[in-house]
Structure 1
Amino acid sequence: MDALEQKGYSVDYRVVNMADFGLPQARRRLVLVASRGCRVALPTRRKPIGWYEAFTKCAEGIAHLIPMMTDSQLLPKQRQAVEQFLTANEPTPLLLERVGGRNRLKYKPGHLPCNTILRSHFTDHKGCNRSKFADIWSPDGIVKSLSIEGAAILQGFPSWYEFPKETATAGSIIGYSVPPSFAVQLFTHIQKQLSGAFL
Structure 2
Amino acid sequence: MKTYADKINTVLKPAISSMPLVLDLFAGCGGLALGFEAQGFPTLGFEMDADCCATYKHNLVGDCLQVKLDANYAFPKAQVVIGGPPCQPFSVGGHQNGLHDARDGFPAFISAVKQVKPDIWMFENVRGLMYKNKDYLDLVISELESLGYVVEFKLMNAVNHLVPQNRERVIVVGHRGEFHYPSVISQKVTAGQALEKVPVESTADSKYLTASMDAYVAKYEKASNCITPRDLHLDRPSRTVTCRNLAGATGDMHRLVLEDGRRRRLTVREGARLQSFPDWFDFKGSETSAFNQVGNAVPPMLAFAIANCFKDYLQSTVRLNSSEIRKRQQPRQLDLLVA
Pair in the same fold by TM > 0.5: yes
What is the CA distance between 1:65 and its match in structure 2?
7.2
Pairs within 5 Å for 1:84-95: none
* Structure 2 stretches lacking a partner, 5+ long: 1-140, 320-339
Pairs within 5 Å for 1:149-160: 149-160=269-280
2:215 matches 1:67: no
Alignment match, 2:162 = 22
CA distance in 2, matches of 1:178, 1:65: 23
Contact preservation (8 Å) 2:144, 2:151: yes
Alignment match, 1:84 = none
2:305 matches 1:185: yes
Residues 18/103 of structure 1: CA separation in 2 closer, same or farther (3 Å cut)? farther
Contact preservation (8 Å) 1:20, 1:45: yes
2:180 matches 1:41: yes
Contact preservation (8 Å) 1:43, 1:186: yes
Residues 120/140 of structure 1: CA separation in 2 closer, same or farther (3 Å cut)? closer
User: Percent identity, aligned pairs only?
Assistant: 20
Match of 1:172 among 268, 273, 292: 292
Q: Which has the higher contact order (CA 8 A, sep 6+)?
A: 1
CA offsets 1:126-156 (integer angstroms, 9 cap, x no match) = xxxx9xx533224564755421101011012
CA offsets 1:69-89 (integer angstroms, 9 cap, x no match) = 437357535996xxxxxxxxx
Contact preservation (8 Å) 1:12, 1:40: no
Match of 1:121 among 245, 256, 262: 245
CA distance in 1, matches of 2:294, 2:150: 31
Taking structure 2 as the reference length, what is the TM-score of the superposition? 0.43
Q: Highest CA radius of gyration, 1 or 2?
A: 2
CA distance in 2, matches of 1:156, 1:167: 19
Taking structure 1 as the reference length, what is the TM-score of the superposition? 0.69
Alignment match, 1:60 = none
* Structure 1 stretches lacking a partner, 5+ long: 57-62, 81-97
